[in-house]
Structure 1
Amino acid sequence: MKRFLLFGLALLMVAALMPAAESATAQHNARQPVASPVFGLNSHLATRYTDPTTMDIPAQLVTELGITWVREDFHWHRVQPRRDIWDWTYTDAAMRALLSRNVRVLGVLGPSVGWAVPHSGDPHNDVSYYAPDHDAFVHYARGVVTRYHRHVKHWEIWNEPDHPYFWRPHPDVAAYTRLLISTAAAIREIDPTATILIGGINPYDTSFLRGVAAHGGWNSFDILAIHPYVNPYSPEHGNLAAATDGVRAVMNRYGQKPIWATEVGWASGASDRDSIGLADDESQANYLVRGNLMLWESGIEKIFWYTFKDDPDNPYGLVRFGEGRDDFRRELFKPAFYALRTLNQQMAGVRYVERRDLFNQHVLVDFTDLEGWQRPHQANGTLHPSGHSREYEQAAELHYRFMTSGNDYVVFKHEPPIPIPSQAHALGAWVYGDGSTHLLRVRIRDAQGEVLQYTLGPVGAPGWHFIQTPLGGAVEPGNVIVPVAGGNRRLDFPAELVSIILDDFVDSFIGSGVIWIDDLRIVSGHEIYNLRLLRGNDALDILWSPPGARANLATANRSGILVERDGNQSFVPAEEGRLSFNLGPAPVYVWHRR
């Protein structure tokens, strides 16, 4: 309740919700969303629901959520508990329950089973996360695909092979790539129409993906699966909109592929990514809607929420754990359950038009004059004026030369530091990349004397694009460049820009290149996010404001229909051609005639 009291006190009045002259988010290297959004679910019926005879109970709730796609594990230890025994009890029950309701299935193959790994500490007939016997894994995959290929056409090979928990004793890109190549070939031999996904990877570190390509695995998969977790940060402060920037830079070199987010989620309390429990039920539901929309807008074709039901100590689910994995009583449903149901209902059949955020951009550094920029303590690069600009004035031409396999970077410091307006809540730059994943960063000194580092993003492919970073929230401890006693790792104003940095994200890179930077900009104004969509002749505006705001939406209607995050509806009368309503962190859907 405290959140809503603060929201009421902080209410802002916005004159009119119209497209800003230059929308920062719209210019963030935007990718056109696919026509039909798919917001799916990691359902885990075959592996976590314990009663195969009542599998229809959770499957019916999947249908109630408006889910048309689920991600289901075909765990090796479940279907082949021993080398000479196959058991289809749970997978058959799950497939019957889901497929009979016209729910399509993305099947995940893996992880290992105890009898098929060299590690002796795991039970022979239970799950193991150690690297599997290669031939035994391909044999298991053949068995699963042979049984289900008439109905399951999409297969994800392993889960997070780049994570040390899921590929033990440590990730091995060469071994995984060999497994990917062999398993994909076996699947296509059984079903030439099958679609193969690489095991979902962390998109913020592309070194594993580049390793797969370097070991010859790029053509073995059809869809790039990512797991863009930013929990416990909000979608905005976690910069979820930039989740695909790094992998798109890799694809620019090796070939384009569709991107699916086969896992994304936020916990509603203390979890594996948040020991304190910064989020709660309300935050989880709000982040679900905002995160799904941001990923869809970035061009991700399908997004699968993690997960359907809470684990005992990991509350990522839509349903609380209750009395066990089979407990799906309605009193256990969290706000996130209704938020996902409403999202699917409201987004059915829509067409994307534009993002209409009420942000303003102001040029902080235009690079028409490079006086004041210095390169201290190193010789890894130079900064020169260039006529290769985005518009009419000159840009900065940054040459770099990274010659070691360690962490190479080049820093350009400005003397004196450049003041940053106190109303800034994001900072970005126009960049013309060279196809690399080198990161453009900035360092800012705040009122406490802390120097904090922020990553705008990878420089990416050739062609001008806007990359940005939010300035709210605490930075990771490793991005506190100059700590101070009592520092809070947050940007306290007044603040000033100290330097810009180009960092070799892949330390093994050795070589040189050139990029161009034009207009370093601060993003300010009312923090109101607005997506404009269409369904037939009806306009749908989806809006939210984390700090709270008063919105006035131009309309040709006498009234509009406002649908709240959880599905409650109300009429909003128009006054002088505008619909007026309050906004907060919970997104609302506003239907009206264009």
Structure 2
Amino acid sequence: MRPYPPRRGLSILIVALLIASILPSTGYAQQGSVPVHGPTGSAVFGLNSHLATRYPDATTMDIPAALVSELGVTWVREDFHWHRVQPQPDVWDWTFTDAAMRALLSRNINVLGVLGPSVGWATPYPGDPNNDVSYYAPDPDAFAAYAQRVVTRYRRYVNHWEIWNEPDHPIFWRPAPDAAAYTRLLIKTATAIRAADPSATILIGGINPYDTTFLRNVAAQGGWNSFDVLAIHPYVDPYGPEDGNLAAALTDVRAVATQHGQKPIWVTEVGWASGPGDRDAVGRTNEQMQADYLVRANLMLWEAGVEKIFWYSFKDDAHNPYGLIRYGSGRADYRLRKPAFDALRTLNQQLAGATYVSRRDLFQMNVVDNFETFATWQRVSEPNGTLRPSSRARSGRNGAELSYNFATTGNDYVAFERQPALPLLGEPYAVGVWVYGDGSPHNLKVLIRDAEGEVLQFVLGPAGAPGWHFLRVPILGEVEPGNVIVPGGNRRVDFPASLVTIVFDDIVDSFVGSGTIWLDDLTVITGYEVYDLRLQRGSEALDILWSPPGAWVNLATRANSGRIIDRSGNVRTVEAQGGQIRIDVGSAPVYLWHQR
């Protein structure tokens, strides 16, 4: 997993449903929705199991494997660590990988194999023991030979291989991430894998999707055609999936793919610790929150078009509680299940065989500036671009053309101030804008001045690929200190507040160049924060609902009653009245089954 600090961008909030509790729900609208294809349930929601590398007893591997099967997952991500299977150049040891494969494959669980990291004897770094793990860049020929040997042994059973883990992270590629070196390794290893198994599917090592500099450099070095699937690790903890804008993970990755060739996207790690851990020393997420976030994150990523999602992880480390099972008395202790265990099992049970229908968008979206009049926007500070009327518009006659020219390798940006500032009426929970991107990684941001005079910055996210798409960002949470532009308050928006500035910022300081993006319909989003995904199975409809702040929700139905299954799998019946089912929705998602 990656312990880098979270970044809060945004592309598409996946399922925003804002319903006042006094209003009945009516029909469905799919504004800006992302098409979803493929299966649901256990075919999508997998797990980082780590049996071969973290479970200490090869003779009792069936104990943890039985629990994996109980979760209903049919995909796991397993490490084939080089130092374990080839501790010396002339020594091969398959004890633990064979045991793990037998235990998992006998239960019809598919395996995504991770190849790497280095072994000490295969790197030039003298400080690592020869027969132990190393994160220093290995000899590419030796690594490719190891990969080919592993794939040859397991090719009848394992057909998906991820080359390295997080090569863009300084912990996992030493002495520092090197896209050129990784690309050479990727190309050589992919060739070796395909020689052993021409039908194999190859994944790039899971990368940070919020900064695609490394991925872009891999493409520039000629590595794009060496892998079949984009693997990403979109950690946003300790923020929740909505406040952390988890869906922003896909925007810039898709922009890169637009330039070089589309590929499926898999999330091979995502998770939250249930206490103090690598990414949050304070431990702001507890076990109940971890279980809530597991369901919400999986659903948001799947609805956004991610093909497979692997929760990190199965069992806690001693000081890093990301697991579904507590650390307990050690690596072999699998007795102490956390609420997240039941949450993943229930998610797979409820979505098995269900198909996606739509997301419900009944929230209030109010356009506060349609860019038809431009006299009110003025450039401030940096003379790095222009904002002017354009006939390219999503609606109406005009949109806004934002041209930029970033000429240095420093922090270039361009900002445009609204005069007068735009009042954010109705105390909205989010702001957004329609964007026609140019494929660049640069970030669009807004500055908001609140009632205390504090000016806070909110990151909408990268401009993304060509074509109109809606970027939005929640504005009710506490911002990081780096996003306080003018201090003097509590790092939260206190109403009344106004939007004062639009900023376009080069996320990659080394970028030098120019381009153009287009904007239209600057929007505020008001109402209760409620999320709803609609699926169906046979004659029944399934609504999956949650609300981080809590809300009463009325749902239209033809049924006389419905079944509500909570996050842990408990079932109760709720009666309909007047063609509606009224339920109290909170941060823990619930599954409502009723007749269509």
Partner of 2:330: 324
Whether 1:69 and 2:71 are equivalent positions in the alignment is no
How big is the shift at 1:60?
A: 0.6
Q: 2:574 aligns with which of 572, 575, 579?
A: 572
Q: Which runs of 5+ in 1 are unaligned?
A: 1-10
With structure 2 as the length reference, what TM-score do the two structures score? 0.94
Whether 1:350 and 2:367 are equivalent positions in the alignment is no
Partner of 1:591: 593
How big is the shift at 1:20?
A: 6.9
Instruction: Kindly provide the amino acid, as one letter, of the partner of residue 194 in structure 1.
Output: A
Which deviates more, 30-39 or 549-558? Answer: 30-39
Q: Is the 8 A contact 2:135 2:171 kept in 1?
A: yes
SS state at 1:342 partner: helix
Q: Is the 8 A contact 1:34 1:296 kept in 2?
A: no
With structure 1 as the length reference, what TM-score do the two structures score? 0.95
Q: 1:212 aligns with which of 198, 211, 218?
A: 218
> What pairs with 1:487-502 in structure 2 (closer than 5 Å)?
487-502=489-504
Partner of 2:7: none
Q: Is the 8 A contact 1:387 1:393 kept in 2?
A: yes
State the distance in 2 between where 1:519 and 1:448 align.
27
How big is the shift at 1:459?
A: 1.4
Instruction: Kindly provide the amino acid, as one letter, of the partner of residue 84 in structure 2.
Output: R
State the distance in 1 between where 2:38 and 2:460 align.
25
> What pairs with 1:332-481 in structure 2 (closer than 5 Å)?
332-481=336-485
SS state at 2:296 partner: helix
How big is the shift at 1:449?
A: 2.4
1:354-400 deviation per Cα after TM superposition (whole angstroms, max 9, x unaligned):
11144210112111111221112332111111222112231111121
Instruction: Kindly provide the amino acid, as one letter, of the partner of residue 523 in structure 1.
Output: I
State the distance in 1 between where 2:175 and 2:491 align.
34
Q: 1:266 aligns with which of 249, 257, 272?
A: 272
Please report the RMSD computed on the Cα atoms of aligned residues, expressed in angstroms. 1.5
Which deviates more, 545-554 or 376-385? Answer: 376-385
How big is the shift at 1:19?
A: 4.9
- Which has the bigger relative contact order, CA under 8 A and spacing at least 6? 2
How big is the shift at 1:118?
A: 2.0
Whether 1:300 and 2:302 are equivalent positions in the alignment is no
How big is the shift at 1:31?
A: 4.1
State the distance in 2 between where 1:503 and 1:373 align.
17
Partner of 2:558: 556
Partner of 1:6: none
Which deviates more, 291-300 or 468-477? Answer: 468-477
Q: Is the 8 A contact 1:439 1:503 kept in 2?
A: yes
Partner of 1:57: 63
Q: Once the two structures are aligned, what percentage of the paired residues are identical?
A: 66
Partner of 2:24: 16
Q: Is the 8 A contact 2:292 2:588 kept in 1?
A: yes
User: Structure 2 vs 1, CA of residues 95 and 471 (structure 1 numbering), >3 Å: closer, same or farther?
Assistant: same
Partner of 2:10: none
SS state at 1:85 partner: coil
Partner of 1:27: 32
Q: Which runs of 5+ in 2 are unaligned?
A: 1-18
1:232-253 deviation per Cα after TM superposition (whole angstroms, max 9, x unaligned):
1010000112210010000010
1:284-322 deviation per Cα after TM superposition (whole angstroms, max 9, x unaligned):
000000000000001000000000000011000000000
Q: Is the 8 A contact 1:358 1:527 kept in 2?
A: no
Q: Is the 8 A contact 1:20 1:359 kept in 2?
A: no
Whether 1:103 and 2:112 are equivalent positions in the alignment is no
Instruction: Kindly provide the amino acid, as one letter, of the partner of residue 471 in structure 1.
Output: I
State the distance in 1 between where 2:172 and 2:408 align.
31
Q: Is the 8 A contact 2:88 2:121 kept in 1?
A: yes
Partner of 1:141: 147
1:158-186 deviation per Cα after TM superposition (whole angstroms, max 9, x unaligned):
00000001011110111000000000000
Q: Is the 8 A contact 1:14 1:549 kept in 2?
A: no
State the distance in 2 between where 1:175 and 1:31 align.
36
Q: Is the 8 A contact 1:20 1:360 kept in 2?
A: no
How big is the shift at 1:12?
A: 7.2
Q: Is the 8 A contact 1:562 1:572 kept in 2?
A: yes
How big is the shift at 1:407?
A: 2.0
Whether 1:114 and 2:116 are equivalent positions in the alignment is no
Partner of 2:138: 132
Partner of 1:503: 505
How big is the shift at 1:423?
A: 2.2
